[in-house]
């Protein structure tokens, strides 16, 4: 470390040395030597250190101040607006094969390539060495992490999104097992966005628990503790018998003041955040949950303490809590939205008039502006985001910081599905739920991603993008997880996107709250249900009562029948698609085929007796 010593600013060197962990020192030294920054700042997570980093992000122009106090805006490059799946790869030792659904390459080759690209990549820049914990401080669930980043925006984002971990490193000393992230935005252009997008790489070394991310700024690629850490966590969980999931955690207020905590997995842009933020309920997290077992029960913690949320469509009516927080003074970063001359922000779907001009992810923007391919540039990018600490939300549940986590009563899976699943359904049991709901999850593509709209994409547990174990092993982890549980969470599916033949949604956005109220009743054994070939669905009387109680709305039999009709042809097609996918996966557990086949047989039998589309009143 001594050859780097003069680069450390203020008392950074002492801060680093105070941590008694030779492995940490070796790691930091290795990558700071390779990347060769000008100056090194070590954050101890104190208010002064956080302020220093935020000031730097403004000084370097990675962020700009906005009208509301403490708000800033950041832009990613025009072609750096989402997770780069293609150039995100696991580095695997020789002889290990993760199959075609997971992107991977040979470790030695990958390391050679990335080390070459990282040489001197931080030259002329400051670097920030920051410490965090994933999960509540002082929890046995939590994972210490170190982030090296030459982007003040990345460090600032992490300071909002994660719990500080310097003290945890001091406490754990040489015993700390930790995740490591090295990020460089690489060379920047005059807009302070990554220039060498062609050399964008996110490489994940599972065995050494290091993630390298270079020549990119978009949060999903650059914020180590977000999806990069999820990949490492899934791998760690697979060794230790817990689950690291792409899940929200919400507390549902039930009878007599009880709170029932439910986790939910949804692919991006399918209502995950809006479920976590249902008004009248309790927020714990909206993206990453760690599920552990204790005394025969399942507990979950939110790995994060902030939200990196999609801003498109956020408006004062549908999202009052977020809308209010986004208009309150506090540490908020807007990214890739439109900023006007008055330093106000606008995004698609905000209930405010669209400005004629401003600055956005394409630079100077005016209505009708086209990009080099002739496509009209919207005022904000569909994946534009806001970064905010959860404590700015009034519905935050104090369970967020409970080191034990919150006890989980239910697990939900949902995707964009216009024609198959009913709005809510309980699985027959754990194994049935894991296989026909979690492992069968699909989602239709939206206009927000490239390619055709409405194409169903397989995305088991909404975790496919992040899986760092083979698909078969991951399903087996779920099956094994339940083995020694005394109290199994119930598994549910939901579908917020069911449509009629004319393409109209069969439910209002807010209806989802009723489905969760029903789950709460089911979890506590307070509602009967109708058994169908695909699971248990609500009785009309229960939903009618809940709609009345919660929304003072009359829920008609006609609505119920339309929403909860069993759609046998669509279900059979789905089983066919899913079976085909699993046949191509070499380590699919046999039970997957068995459970899918049993469901198929139940559906065929019902079709014979009752026809293709069966009203819930006939089931
Ligand atoms: C998602 O896309 O699922 C997100 C945002 O939560 S990202 O950080 O890009 O993963
Ligand atoms: Mn996510």
Q: What CATH number should be reported for the domain holding residue 593?
A: 3.90.228.20
Return the residue whose CA atom lies nearest to atom 6 of ligand 1: 287
CATH code assigned at 15: 3.40.449.10
CB 585 within 8 A of CB 99: yes
Residues 485 and 550 in one domain: yes
Is the residue at 349 inside a domain?
no
Mean pLDDT confidence for 81-106: 94
For residue 249, the CA-to-ligand 1 centroid distance in Å is 16
Ligand 1 atom closest to Cα of residue 385: 5
Residue indicated by tokens 């949902």: 414
Mean pLDDT (whole number) for 508-517: 97
- For residues 98 and 202, state if they share a domain: yes
249 plus 182 within the same structural domain: no
Residue nearest atom 3 of ligand 1, based on CA coordinates: 268
Q: Would you please indicate which residues are annotated as catalytic (active-site) residues? A: 270
The two three-digit tokens of residue 64, written as one number: 């700009």
Identify the weakest region by mean pLDDT among 47-51, 77-81, 268-272, 555-559. Answer: 268-272
Same domain, 88 and 203: yes
Q: What are the structure tokens assigned to 446, written together?
A: 């939206």
Same domain, 552 and 596: yes
DSSP per residue, 322-357: HHHHTTSSSSEEEES-EE-TTS-EE-TT-SSPPPSE
Q: What is the dihedral of CA 601, 607, 609, 615, to 10 degrees?
A: 120
Instruction: Return the structure tokens found at 111.
Output: 């390391």
In DSSP terms, 43 is beta-bridged to none
pLDDT at 449 (0 to 100): 58
The greatest distance separating any two alpha carbons of the chain, rounded to the nearest whole angstrom, comes to 81
Residue range of the domain that includes 459: 244-308+397-618
- Average pLDDT score, the chain: 96
Question: How many Å apart are CA 206 and CA 426, to the nearest integer?
Answer: 35
State pLDDT tens for residues 159-182. Answer: 999 999 999 999 999 989 999 999
d(CA 13, CA 490): 50
Question: What SS3 state is found at 49?
Answer: helix
pLDDT at 145 over 60: yes
Reduced to 3 states, what is the DSSP secondary structure of residue 507? coil
What are the residues whose beta carbons fall under 8 Å from the beta carbon of 376, sequence distance 6 or more? 368, 369, 370
Same domain, 505 and 493: yes
Give yes or no: residues 248 and 117 share one domain.
Answer: no
CA proximity to 576, closest of 604, 596, 603, 605: 596
CA distances from 572 to 63, 99, 420 (A): 51, 26, 9
Say whether both 448 and 495 belong to one domain: yes
Residue nearest to atom 8 of ligand 1 (CA): 220
CA 47 to chain centre: 27
Q: In which residue are the tokens 């801003």 written?
A: 311
Q: Which of 182, 208, 240 is the last residue of a domain?
A: 240
Residues with CB under 6 A from ligand 1: 83, 219-220, 226-227, 268, 287, 308
Q: Which pLDDT score is estimated for 454? A: 81
What is the best residue among 227, 381, 387, 388 to mutate for testing ligand 1's pocket, by most ligand atoms within 8 Å of CB?
227
Closest ligand by atom to 154 CA: 1
Give the CA radius of gyration of the chain. 24
Q: Which of 240, 274, 298 is the last residue of a domain?
A: 240
φ, ψ for residue 318 (rounded to 5)?
-80, -30
Q: What are phi and psi of 47, to 5 degrees?
A: -55, -35
- The answer to whether residue 366 is domain-embedded is no
**551-570 per-position pLDDT tens digit:** 999 999 999 999 999 999 99
| Residue 63 and residue 322 in contact, taking contact as beta carbons nearer than 8 Å | no
Q: How far is the CA of 246 from the centre of ligand 2 (A)?
A: 6
What letter does residue 407 receive in the DSSP assignment? E
Residues β-bridged to residue 302: 289
Average pLDDT over residues 30-59: 98
Q: Is the pLDDT of residue 447 over 70?
A: no
Element (H, E) at 90: strand 88-92
How many A from CA of 484 to the centre of ligand 1? 32
The predicted pLDDT at position 445 comes to: 82
Calculate how far, in angstroms, residue 427's C-alpha sits from the geometric centre of ligand 2: 24
Q: Is the pLDDT of residue 451 over 80?
A: no
446, pLDDT greater than 80: no
pTM for the model stands at 0.97
Torsion on CA atoms 52, 53, 54, 60, rounded to nearest 10: 110
Q: Which of 200, 206, 246, 226 is nearest to 86 (CA)?
A: 200
Residue 524 has pLDDT above 70, yes or no: yes
In a domain, 449, yes or no: yes
User: Do 570 and 425 lie in a common domain?
Assistant: yes
- Is 452's pLDDT higher than 80? no
Q: Atom of ligand 1 at shortest distance to CA of 219?
A: 8
83 CA: nearest ligand 1 atom:
9
Atom of ligand 1 nearest to the CA of 310: 5
pLDDT digits (tens, 9 = 90+) for 283-328: 999 999 999 999 999 999 999 999 999 999 999 998 999 999 999 9
In a domain, 301, yes or no: yes
Q: Please choose from 83, 248, 286 the residue to mutate so as to test ligand 1's pocket, defined by most ligand atoms within 8 A of CB.
A: 83
Digit-coded pLDDT (tens) for 213-228? 999 999 999 999 999 9
CA atoms within 13 A on the CB side of 540: 17
Among 234, 287, 464, say which to mutate for ligand 1: greatest number of ligand atoms within 8 Å of CB.
287
At which residue do the structure tokens 């917020």 appear? Answer: 496
User: In angstroms, rounded to a whole number, what is the distance separating the alpha carbons of residues 346 and 544?
Assistant: 39
Same domain, 230 and 258: no
- pLDDT at site 450: 55
338-368 tens-digit pLDDT: 999 999 999 999 999 999 999 999 999 999 9
- Of 200, 215, 240, the one marking the end of a domain is 240
Q: With pLDDT > 90 as the criterion, what percentage of the chain qualifies?
A: 96
CA of 612 to the centre of ligand 1 (A): 38
546 — pLDDT class (breaks 50, 70, 90): very high
**What whole-number distance in Å separates Cα of residue 263 and Cα of residue 246?**
9
Residue of minimum CA distance from atom 2 in ligand 1:
268
363 within some domain: no
Q: Whose CA is nearest to atom 9 of ligand 1?
A: 220
Classify the C-alpha dihedral 595-600-603-604 as positive or negative: negative
Confidence of residue 269 (pLDDT cuts 50, 70, 90): confident
pLDDT at residue 453, rounded to an integer: 73
CB 280 within 8 A of CB 397: no
Of 308, 448, 465, the one to substitute when testing ligand 1's pocket (max ligand atoms within 8 A of C-beta) is: 308
Q: Is residue 543 part of a domain?
A: yes
For 192: left if phi > 0, alpha if psi spans -120 to 50, otherwise beta; the answer is left
CA of 309 to the centre of ligand 2 (A): 9
For residues 182 and 271, membership in a common domain is answered with no
Please tell me the total count of domains within the chain. 2
Q: Is residue 132 over pLDDT 90?
A: yes
Mind listing the pLDDT tens digit for each residue in 179-226? Answer: 999 999 999 999 999 999 999 999 999 999 999 999 999 999 999 999
Torsion of CA 579, 581, 584, 589, to 10 degrees: -60
Whole-number percent of the chain with pLDDT over 70: 99
Tell me whether strands 332-335 and 71-74 are parallel, antiparallel or unpaired: parallel
Same domain, 260 and 168: no
Q: Please say if the pLDDT value at position 424 is more than 90.
A: yes
Chain center to CA of 404:
22
Residue at 322 is within a domain:
no
Query: 448 pLDDT exceeds 60?
Result: no
Distance (Å) of CA 593 to CA 125, 414, 572, 576: 54, 21, 14, 11
pLDDT on residue 203: 98
Distance CA 582, CA 593 (A): 8
In a domain, 69, yes or no: no
Coil, strand or helix at 535: strand
Residue nearest to atom 10 of ligand 1 (CA): 220
């Amino acid at each position: 470390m001594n050859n780097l010593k003069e680069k450390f600013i203020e008392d950074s060197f002492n801060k680093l040395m105070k941590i008694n962990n030779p492995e940490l020192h070796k790691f930091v030294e290795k990558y700071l030597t390779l990347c060769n920054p000008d100056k090194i700042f070590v954050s101890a997570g104190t208010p002064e250190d956080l302020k220093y980093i935020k000031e730097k992000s403004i000084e370097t122009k990675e962020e700009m101040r906005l009208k509301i106090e403490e708000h800033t805006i950041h832009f990613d490059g025009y072609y750096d607006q989402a997770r780069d799946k293609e150039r995100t790869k696991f580095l695997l030792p020789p002889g290990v094969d993760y199959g075609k659904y997971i992107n991977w390459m040979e470790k030695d080759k990958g390391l050679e390539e990335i080390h070459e690209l990282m040489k001197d990549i931080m030259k002329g820049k400051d670097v920030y060495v920051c410490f965090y914990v994933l999960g509540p401080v002082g929890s046995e669930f939590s994972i210490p992490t170190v982030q090296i980043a030459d982007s003040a925006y990345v460090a600032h984002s992490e300071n909002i999104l994660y719990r500080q971990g310097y003290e945890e490193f001091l406490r754990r000393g040489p015993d700390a097992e930790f995740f490591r992230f090295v990020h460089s935005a690489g060379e920047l252009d005059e807009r302070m966005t990554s220039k060498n997008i062609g050399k964008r790489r996110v490489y994940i070394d599972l065995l050494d628990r290091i993630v390298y991310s270079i020549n990119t700024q978009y949060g999903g690629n650059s914020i180590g503790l977000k999806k990069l850490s999820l990949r490492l966590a899934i791998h760690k969980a697979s060794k230790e018998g817990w689950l690291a999931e792409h899940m929200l955690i919400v507390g549902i207020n039930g009878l007599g003041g009880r709170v029932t905590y439910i986790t939910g997995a949804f692919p991006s842009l399918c209502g995950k955040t809006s479920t976590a933020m249902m008004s009248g309920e309790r927020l714990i997290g909206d993206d990453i949950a760690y599920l552990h077992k204790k005394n025969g029960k399942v507990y979950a913690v939110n790995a994060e303490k902030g939200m990196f949320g999609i801003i498109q469509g956020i408006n004062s009516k549908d999202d009052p809590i977020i809308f209010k927080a986004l208009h309150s003074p506090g540490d908020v970063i807007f990214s890739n939205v439109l900023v006007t001359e008055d330093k106000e922000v606008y995004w698609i779907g905000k209930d405010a008039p669209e400005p004629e001009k401003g600055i956005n992810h394409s630079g100077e923007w005016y209505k009708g502006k086209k990009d080099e391919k002739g496509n009209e540039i919207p005022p904000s990018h569909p994946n534009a985001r806001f970064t905010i600490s959860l404590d700015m939300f009034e519905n935050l549940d104090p369970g967020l910081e409970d080191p034990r986590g919150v006890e989980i009563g239910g697990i939900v899976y949902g995707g964009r599905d216009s024609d198959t699943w009913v709005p809510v359904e309980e699985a027959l049991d754990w194994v049935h739920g894991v296989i026909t709901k979690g492992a069968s999850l699909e989602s239709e593509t939206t206009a927000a991603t490239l390619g055709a709209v409405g194409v169903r994409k397989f995305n088991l547990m909404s975790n496919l993008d992040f899986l760092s174990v083979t698909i078969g092993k991951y399903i087996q982890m779920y099956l094994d997880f339940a083995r020694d549980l005394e109290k199994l969470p119930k598994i549910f599916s939901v579908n917020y996107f069911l449509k009629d033949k004319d393409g109209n949604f069969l439910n209002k956005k807010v209806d989802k709250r009723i489905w969760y109220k029903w789950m709460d009743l089911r979890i506590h054994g307070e509602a009967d249900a109708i058994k169908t070939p695909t699971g248990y669905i609500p009785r009309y009387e229960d939903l009618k009562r809940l709609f009345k109680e919660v929304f003072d709305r009359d829920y008609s039999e006609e609505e119920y029948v339309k929403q909860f009709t069993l759609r046998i042809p669509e279900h059979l097609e789905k089983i066919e698609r899913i079976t085909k996918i699993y046949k191509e996966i070499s380590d699919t557990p046999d039970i997957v085929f068995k459970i899918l086949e049993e469901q198929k047989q139940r559906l065929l039998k019902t079709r014979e007796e009752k026809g293709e589309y069966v009203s819930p009143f006939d089931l």
